């Protein structure tokens, strides 16, 4: 997967530019910090966004046809990542004490849910201290499964300090997303993270963001809320609300979770 991603970003710019779009809702979208359209934040990053679905055969023909093995390799990776998401959610629901009907309903939503692959290339930068590959943010999704090469760059916020996540060969990084923090009523925490760049080597990563169906309203699980010890901490939300937030002025200076909290902690 990392190899085909690297070869895509090595293609001539004219080939990659066929997939450029100013529409953040576009199911296939290429972007670059060297020739941006309407992206509001300047990042030292090239990316390829691919929206996936249950019926991959319906969307794969819209994906780039170069390199010639991209569609085959990426679709196989997308299916594997989706299976892993299902297994992780089964374990998380059990840990939260959500069983029987509540767990079955959530897992059915996971099976029918959304998936987006964000394939990233962070080129070497002549002045890495003056920019970021990606600014501090949290993921809107339930879970994000991240595959990365062996070049340092990912940092997470912990105890008011940025901590480097050393890449381990053969490993995946799993991030809790905003929607899962809401569903767990704050028991699982969405993680603020960013990407640094360097002057020596490019960095490749593939983030698979998994969530519920776009029309699904998300709020704290009833099993995790009571009026005394565990009051409801978040308002209900859905994917349309998140997209509206992204293009709003509020999205420039406030995290999505801040807009949904009823109680701060």
Res 244: pLDDT: 75
Res 260: pLDDT: 75
Res 264: pLDDT: 60
Domain chopping of the chain, boundaries:
1-260
For residue 21, is pLDDT > 60? yes
The b-or-e profile of 209-239 (16+ CB within 10 A means b, else e) is bbbbeeebebbbbebbeeeeeeebbbeebbb
Determine the CATH number of domain 1-260. 2.60.120.330
Averaged over 53-65, what is the pLDDT? 91
Averaged over 133-156, what is the pLDDT? 95
Q: 201: which DSSP letter?
A: -
- What is the band of 42 on the pLDDT scale with cuts at 50, 70, 90? low
Averaged over 86-108, what is the pLDDT? 95
- Nearest of 103, 97, 100 to residue 188 by alpha carbon: 97
Res 261: pLDDT: 80
Q: Rounded to an integer, what distance in angstroms lies between the CA atom of residue 223 and that of residue 215?
A: 22
For residue 191, is pLDDT > 90? no
- What is the band of 100 on the pLDDT scale with cuts at 50, 70, 90? confident
Q: pLDDT tens, 250-259? A: 554 457 777 7
Q: Rounded to an integer, what distance in angstroms lies between the CA atom of residue 211 and that of residue 217?
A: 11
Averaged over 67-87, what is the pLDDT? 97
Does residue 97 come out as left (phi exceeding 0), alpha (psi in the -120 to 50 range) or beta? Answer: left
Contact 44, 123 (CB under 8 A): yes
Q: What dihedral angle (degrees, nearest 10) is formed by the CA atoms of 66, 68, 73, 76?
A: 100
Q: Which residues are bridge partners to 194 per DSSP?
A: 155
Q: pLDDT tens, 196-213? A: 999 999 999 999 999 999
Rounded to two decimals, the pTM is: 0.90
Averaged over 145-154, what is the pLDDT? 97
Q: pLDDT tens, 215-233? A: 899 999 999 999 788 999 9
Res 208: pLDDT: 98
Res 248: pLDDT: 65
For residue 94, is pLDDT > 50? yes
């Amino acid at each position: 997967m990392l190899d085909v991603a690297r070869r895509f970003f090595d293609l001539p710019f004219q080939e990659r530019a066929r997939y450029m779009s100013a529409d953040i809702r576009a199911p296939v979208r290429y972007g670059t910090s060297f020739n941006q359209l309407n992206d509001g934040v300047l990042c030292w990053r090239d990316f390829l966004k691919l929206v996936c679905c249950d019926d991959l055969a319906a969307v794969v023909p819209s994906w780039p046809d170069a390199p010639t093995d991209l569609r085959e390799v990426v679709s196989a990776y997308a299916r594997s990542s989706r299976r892993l998401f299902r297994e992780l959610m089964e374990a998380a629901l059990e840990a939260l004490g959500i069983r029987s009907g509540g767990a079955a309903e959530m897992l059915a939503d996971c099976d029918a849910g959304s998936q987006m692959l964000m394939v990233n290339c962070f080129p070497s930068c002549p002045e890495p201290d003056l920019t970021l590959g990606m600014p501090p943010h949290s993921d809107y999704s339930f879970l994000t499964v991240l595959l990365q090469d062996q070049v340092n760059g990912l940092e997470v916020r912990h105890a008011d300090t940025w901590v480097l996540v050393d890449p381990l060969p053969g490993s995946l990084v799993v991030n809790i997303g905003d929607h899962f923090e809401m569903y767990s009523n704050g028991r699982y925490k969405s993680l603020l993270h960013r990407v640094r760049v360097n002057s020596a080597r490019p960095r490749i990563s593939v983030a698979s963001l998994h969530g519920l169906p776009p029309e699904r309203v998300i709020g704290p699980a009833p099993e995790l809320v009571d009026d005394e010890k565990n009051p409801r901490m978040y308002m209900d939300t859905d994917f349309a609300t998140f997209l509206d937030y992204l293009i709003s002025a509020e999205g420039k200076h406030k995290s999505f979770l801040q807009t949904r909290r009823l109680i701060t902690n």
